[in-house]
């Protein structure tokens, strides 16, 4: 199914992008708050890593099944709305949690809400965008996510300000309630998508068995695309989780941490908006390899004690620009590699791989951080990025 021009696109893509901005604003308001709230209830680097890993635990189990459901469903916009509601509930659950177990469970609920939003949104683009517009539309989709990544940390930083000690618990509660309201508002832009024409399947298509996961993985370049996506996404997660600890050790306030994370997100937003221009000049492979390798260098520089706020800001702007390129490129690559009846499953498999990384990499990074400190987690993530760049080049 393809769109029929600008009028059709305005009826679904802009509504979808509006919802993505709101849900990702809420999500990226929540993610740093999870770290601060874990610290407020007595957690340290290891606990931060484990609570971060809990975010991806249940989504890891249901991602591929959800993707296959979107391939079969006639309408899928409602799944994005349900995801927004669950994300709001998870945020409020976090606001009321005062122990590490409650935080881990609430983090899992937030992860499920985000999964529903992501799988359904990507399936909508794969279903309704023209093939020649995939890179552009996925670029706009990830740019909308970057706008939320920019706004969320700024809001959390403004609410937390210089809170510390006992004040940190109440400040994070307030910020999490705000996140819940923003997530719930993400349902409103999706209302016009209810008018999207449903997918009609022939009797032959309905009778056809689903493409096995192993067959998707055997497709040439598919494993490399999945590994690159995993490396890039977990790098952002590790940076979001451990930058507060690194900044605290260098005397930087939560407000400045919010500014740094927003600068990183703003650079990613810029790279995704300029992706169509870059794709006309360089191949997808060249962009993926270069951006992944240089992003690894950027994370290494953040981990090293080379300077204060100004140095971190410069490195995060460069790193954020490069980290922003890989996600839309791998989305488009996975979509084009998959057969038409299994694109939702392939995109969900990509998200499943990301969730495997979001469970395994933070857990492993927590072990590294426990042994050598928070900078070790970033160095560990940089090594994974470098391995992904080598794999993509090969």
Q: Do 334 and 350 contact (CB within 8 A), yes or no?
A: yes
286: in domain: yes
Domain that holds residue 146: 6-194+213-393
pLDDT digits (tens, 9 = 90+) for 324-380: 888 899 898 888 888 877 888 888 888 888 878 877 888 888 888 888 778 888 999
201: in domain: no
205: in domain: no
pLDDT digits (tens, 9 = 90+) for 48-63: 878 877 887 788 888 8
Q: Do 34 and 107 contact (CB within 8 A), yes or no?
A: yes
- State the pLDDT at residue 379: 92
Q: Is the pLDDT of residue 166 over 50?
A: yes
Question: What is the Cα–Cα distance from 57 to 109, expressed in whole angstroms?
Answer: 10
What is the three-class DSSP state of 5? coil
202: in domain: no
Q: Is the pLDDT of residue 215 over 60?
A: yes
Q: Is the pLDDT of residue 230 over 60?
A: yes
Question: What is the Cα–Cα distance from 388 to 236, expressed in whole angstroms?
Answer: 15
Q: Is the pLDDT of residue 6 over 80?
A: no
Q: Which of 152, 135, 148, 153 is nearest to 325 (CA)?
A: 135
13: in domain: yes
Tokens 């794969």 belong to 126
Question: What is the Cα–Cα distance from 71 to 194, expressed in whole angstroms?
Answer: 17
11: left (phi over 0), alpha (psi -120 to 50) or beta: alpha
Question: What is the Cα–Cα distance from 392 to 387, expressed in whole angstroms?
Answer: 9
105: in domain: yes
Q: Is the pLDDT of residue 86 over 90?
A: yes
169: in domain: yes
321: left (phi over 0), alpha (psi -120 to 50) or beta: alpha
How many Cα neighbours within 13 Å face the side chain of 55? 33
- State the pLDDT at residue 206: 53
- 247 or 116, which is more confident: 116
199: in domain: no
- 107 or 35, which is more confident: 107
pLDDT digits (tens, 9 = 90+) for 93-147: 998 887 888 888 999 999 999 999 999 999 999 888 877 788 888 889 988 988 8
Total tally of structural domains belonging to the chain:
1
Q: Is the pLDDT of residue 307 over 90?
A: no
In CATH, what number is assigned to the domain containing residue 385? 1.20.1250.20
163 falls in which pLDDT band (50, 70, 90)?
low
């Amino acid at each position: 199914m393809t769109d029929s021009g600008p009028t059709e696109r305005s009826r679904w893509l802009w509504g979808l992008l509006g919802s993505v901005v709101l849900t990702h604003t809420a999500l990226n308001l929540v993610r740093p708050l999870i770290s601060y709230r874990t610290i407020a209830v007595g957690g340290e680097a290891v606990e931060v890593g484990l609570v971060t890993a809990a975010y991806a635990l249940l989504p890891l189990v249901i991602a591929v099944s959800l993707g296959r459901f979107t391939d079969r469903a006639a309408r899928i916009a409602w799944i994005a709305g349900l995801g927004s509601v669950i994300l709001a509930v998870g945020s409020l659950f976090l606001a009321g949690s005062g122990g590490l177990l409650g935080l881990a469970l609430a983090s899992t609920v937030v992860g499920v809400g985000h999964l529903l939003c992501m799988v359904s949104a990507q399936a909508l683009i794969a279903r309704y965008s023209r093939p020649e517009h995939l890179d552009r539309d996925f670029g706009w989709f990830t740019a909308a996510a970057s706008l939320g990544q920019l706004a969320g940390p700024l809001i959390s930083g403004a609410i937390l300000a210089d809170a510390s000690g006992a004040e940190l618990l109440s400040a994070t509660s307030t910020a999490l309630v705000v996140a819940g309201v923003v997530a719930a508002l993400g349902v409103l832009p999706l209302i016009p998508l209810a008018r999207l024409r449903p997918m009609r399947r022939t009797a032959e298509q309905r009778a056809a068995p689903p493409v096995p996961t192993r067959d998707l993985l055997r497709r040439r370049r598919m494993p490399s695309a999945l590994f690159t996506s995993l490396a890039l996404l977990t790098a952002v997660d590790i940076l979001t989780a451990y930058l507060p600890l690194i900044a605290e050790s260098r005397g930087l306030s939560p407000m400045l941490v919010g500014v740094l994370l927003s600068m990183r997100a703003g650079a990613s937003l810029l790279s995704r908006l300029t992706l169509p221009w870059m794709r006309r000049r360089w191949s997808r492979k060249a962009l993926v390899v270069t951006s992944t390798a240089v992003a690894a260098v950027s994370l290494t520089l953040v981990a090293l004690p080379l300077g204060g706020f100004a140095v971190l800001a410069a490195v995060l702007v460069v790193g954020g620009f490069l980290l922003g390129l890989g996600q839309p490129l791998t989305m488009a690559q996975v979509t084009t590699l998959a057969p038409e009846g299994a694109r939702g499953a392939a995109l969900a498999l990509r998200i499943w791989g990301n969730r495997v990384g979001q469970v395994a990499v933070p857990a492993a990074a927590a072990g590294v951080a426990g042994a050598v400190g928070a900078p070790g987690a970033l160095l560990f993530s940089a090594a994974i990025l470098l391995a992904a760049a080598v794999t993509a080049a090969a």
